[in-house]
Chain A
C-alpha cells in the first residue's frame, strides 16, 4: 500500500467518524423526544391533548390533569426574568465593551463568568434567604414572598451571564468604522452607542436573549425553591395588574421534578406530557429566534 492510498483511507475513516459524532447529537435529541412522547401518549390519549393544555386544575388524585397553570407559570416567570434581566445584562455588556476602563473590565468580567458557574441550587438558597423576605415586604394581601416576582428576580440573575457575555461580544464585534464614523459626525459617545453600535449588534443581542430565554424556561430547582409551587393560575392580587407577579405559581419543570418520584400510571404519563409541552415550547422559542435573527441580518 502506498502512503497516498493509506492517507486517502484515513481521510475516509475520519470523515465517517466526524459524521457519526455530528449525527449523535441529532439522534440523541430525537431519541429523547420520541421516548418522552411515547411515555406521554397514554396521558394524551386518556385525557386528551386539548383538555390537558387548556385545563386549569391539576388534581392527580381526581384524575384532573390540566397544565395551563404551569404553562402560565413558566411563561410569566420567564417574561419577568427577561424584563428584569435583559436591561441589566445589556447595561453590563455596553459598560464592559464601550465605557469601562481596562482594569474594571478585568475585575467585572471574571465575576460575571463566576456567576455562570454557581449551581442553581445555590441560587435557590440565595433566593429563599434574601429575595423572598424582601419581596414579602411588599404590602399585598396573601403575599408570602414566595412567588413569580421572587422567581423572576432569581432567574434574571441566572440568565445575566449568558446574555451579558454574548451581547458584549456582539457589541465588540461591531466594526470600528461605524463608531468612528458616528463620532466624527459630532455624535456623543452615548448617541453612538444607542444609534449605531446597538442596532448594528442587534442580531447578536437577539440570539443572546433567546439563549437566555431557553435557559430560563428550563430552570428547575431554583424555581421550585422560591416560586411557591402551588398549582394555581396566577392572577392579580390587588387592583394593580402587576400584582400578578406576587402570585404563587408552578413551572412546567417544577411540576415534573416535584411529583415524578411518587407518580404512577396516568399521573406519571401526564408528567411526561408536561415534558413534551416544555420541549415544544423551547423549540418554538429557538426557531422564532432564528427567524428573527435572519430578518435582522437582512
Chain B
C-alpha cells in the first residue's frame, strides 16, 4: 500500500444532511490505477461518500461538510466544479443514456469541453466505444437512439460517455445492480481493463463482485447515531481473508447486512 500513488483522498471528512450526520470523519487514500470497492450494508453512506469525490452532493441544498476531499492533492471544494467533474467521471446505478443517438451520447462531453471538429469527434467516439467494449455491437448504427440498447449496452454506453472526456477517476455507483449476470460480467471485465488508464472507485452491494474486481476494499458501517464510518480499508485479499476488525469479518461472512 505504501508504494501506491494516491489519486484521491479524504481527510476527516464528515457530511451532514441538515442536522443529521451521514458521514463521520472519514479518512482514506484511494490509490491511482486501481479498483477500490466500497462495501457495507444499505444506508451506511457509501454512495453519499462516492458522490463527494465529484461533488454531486452539491445538488442537495441541505448538505454541509467538514474536512477535506482531495484530487491529486488539491482540495476539490476549492476547484471549479465543472473542471472537477471532467476529471472525475461517474457511472450511475441505473443506466442513464440521454435520449439522443449513440454518437451524440458519447460526443456530449467532448462537445461541452470544446471539441467541435467533426472528424476529431468521430475518432474520439470510436475510441471511447472501443474502450468500453461496445464498438463492435453498435458501429453499424451510431445514429440509433442510445435508449434502444439493452440495459447492459446502455451501461457500457454510459461508461463510454464518461471515458470520452478523458477523466482521471471513474466513480461507479452500483453500476451492475440493474443488469443481468452476463451483462454484469462484461462490466466487471471492463473495469479490469480500464484500471490501466483510470482510477476506479466502485460502490457495490455484491460482495462477490467486490472480491472479483477490486484491488482494495473499504468497509463502511453505521454507528449508534446512524452515521456512516469507515471501519476498515486495505487490500481486497486481506480484507476478505484476514480482516482486522471483527465487524468486517461478520459482514464478509454474511452474519449481518
Report how far A215 CA is from B56 CA in the complex, Å: 42
Name B110's closest neighbour in chain A (CB-CB).
A185
Known: A181-B158, A185-B89, A185-B165. A195 touches B56 (CB 8 A): no
- B108 with A195: CB separation less than 8 A: yes
Q: Which residues on A sit within 8 Å (CB–CB) of B161?
A: 181, 185
- A180 with B162: CB separation less than 8 A: no
Option from B83, B85, B97 in Cβ contact (under 8 Å) with A184: B85
Report how far A97 CA is from B136 CA in the complex, Å: 40
Q: Which residues on A sit within 8 Å (CB–CB) of B59?
A: 180, 183
Is A200 at the interface (CB under 8 A from chain B)?
Answer: yes
Is B251 at the interface (CB under 8 A from chain A)?
Answer: no
Question: Chain A at the B interface: mostly helix, strand, loop or mixed?
Answer: helix
Is A187 at the interface (CB under 8 A from chain B)?
Answer: yes
Which residues of B from 123 to 178 have beta carbons under 8 Å from A? Answer: 158, 161-162, 165
Which residues of A from 155 to 199 have beta carbons under 8 Å from B? Answer: 175, 177-178, 180-188, 191, 195-196, 199
Name B164's closest neighbour in chain A (CB-CB).
A185
- A175 with B96: CB separation less than 8 A: yes
The smallest C-beta distance from B145 to any residue of chain A, in angstroms, reads: 9
Q: How large is the interface on A (under 10, 10 to 19, 20 to 34, 35 or more residues)?
A: 10 to 19
Q: Which residues on A sit within 8 Å (CB–CB) of B90?
A: 180, 184
Is B92 at the interface (CB under 8 A from chain A)?
Answer: yes
Q: Mark B73-90, 1 if CB is under 8 A from A, else 0.
A: 000000000111110011
- B92 with A181: CB separation less than 8 A: yes
Option from A177, A187, A195, A199 in Cβ contact (under 8 Å) with B94: A177
- A184 with B54: CB separation less than 8 A: yes
The smallest C-beta distance from B232 to any residue of chain A, in angstroms, reads: 28
Is B109 at the interface (CB under 8 A from chain A)?
Answer: yes
Is B181 at the interface (CB under 8 A from chain A)?
Answer: no
Q: Which residues on A sit within 8 Å (CB–CB) of B165?
A: 185-186
Report how far A182 CA is from B100 CA in the complex, Å: 12
Q: Which residues on A sit within 8 Å (CB–CB) of B67?
A: none
Q: Which residues on A sit within 8 Å (CB–CB) of B162?
A: 184-185
Q: Which residues on B sit within 8 Å (CB–CB) of A183?
A: 56, 59, 85
Option from A101, A177, A185 in Cβ contact (under 8 Å) with B108: A185
Name A175's closest neighbour in chain B (CB-CB).
B96
Name A298's closest neighbour in chain B (CB-CB).
B145
Q: Which residues on B sit within 8 Å (CB–CB) of A182?
A: 98, 108
Q: Which residues on A sit within 8 Å (CB–CB) of B61?
A: 101
Report how far A182 CA is from B162 CA in the complex, Å: 10
Known: A186-B86, A187-B112. A200 touches B56 (CB 8 A): no
- A186 with B85: CB separation less than 8 A: yes
The smallest C-beta distance from A183 to any residue of chain B, in angstroms, reads: 7
- A200 with B99: CB separation less than 8 A: yes
Q: Which residues on B sit within 8 Å (CB–CB) of A187?
A: 82, 108-109, 112
Report how far A194 CA is from B242 CA in the complex, Å: 52
Report how far A175 CA is from B92 CA in the complex, Å: 13
- A200 with B98: CB separation less than 8 A: yes
- A186 with B96: CB separation less than 8 A: no
Report how far A185 CA is from B162 CA in the complex, Å: 7
Name B100's closest neighbour in chain A (CB-CB).
A199
Q: Which residues on A sit within 8 Å (CB–CB) of B86?
A: 185-186
Q: Which of A181, A182, A187, A196 lies at the interface centre, i.e. has the most chain B CB atoms within 10 A of its CB?
A: A181
Q: Which residues on A sit within 8 Å (CB–CB) of B237?
A: none
Is B212 at the interface (CB under 8 A from chain A)?
Answer: no
- A181 with B96: CB separation less than 8 A: yes
Option from B82, B84, B98 in Cβ contact (under 8 Å) with A181: B98
Is B113 at the interface (CB under 8 A from chain A)?
Answer: yes
Report how far A199 CA is from B147 CA in the complex, Å: 14
Q: Which residues on B sit within 8 Å (CB–CB) of A178?
A: 96, 98-99
The smallest C-beta distance from A202 to any residue of chain B, in angstroms, reads: 9
Report how far A184 CA is from B86 CA in the complex, Å: 8
The smallest C-beta distance from B199 to any residue of chain A, in angstroms, reads: 16
Name A297's closest neighbour in chain B (CB-CB).
B99
Name B99's closest neighbour in chain A (CB-CB).
A200
Q: Which residues on B sit within 8 Å (CB–CB) of A199?
A: 99-100
In the A-B complex, list the 7 residue pairs whose CB atoms are closest, starting with the nearest. Answer: A177-B96, A186-B86, A184-B90, A186-B85, A185-B109, A181-B96, A186-B82
Q: A185-B89, A186-B82, A191-B112 are in contact. List 16 more A-B contacts (CB 8 A).
A: A101-B61, A175-B96, A177-B94, A180-B56, A181-B96, A183-B59, A185-B86, A185-B108, A185-B109, A185-B161, A185-B165, A186-B85, A186-B86, A186-B112, A187-B112, A199-B100
